[in-house]
């Protein structure tokens, strides 16, 4: 099983990067499970 763990996603620039990069990483590396730390993704209001 291949797991992709993404550290702290903090604000809009991080969300945009994740939105673009994660699908490519999943496809390229045949990822089975993705886990992300997103409690700060809504500008500190998440």
Q: Is the pTM of this model over 0.85?
A: no
Q: What does R_g of the chain's alpha carbons equal in angstroms? A: 11
> Given this model, what pLDDT does residue 14 score?
87
Q: Where are the domains of the chain?
A: 3-37
Phi, psi of 28 (to 5 degrees): -65, -35
Local confidence pLDDT in tens for the 46 residues of the chain:
999 999 988 888 888 999 999 999 999 999 999 999 988 767 655 5
Nearest one of 17, 28, 45, 27 to 36, comparing CA atoms: 17
Which residues have C-beta within 8 Å of that of residue 1, sequence separation ≥ 6? 32, 33
């Amino acid at each position: 099983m291949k797991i992709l763990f993404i550290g702290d996603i903090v604000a809009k620039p991080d969300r945009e990067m994740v939105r673009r990069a994660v699908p490519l990483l999943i496809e390229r590396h045949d990822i089975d499970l993705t886990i992300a730390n997103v409690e700060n993704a809504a500008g500190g209001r998440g």
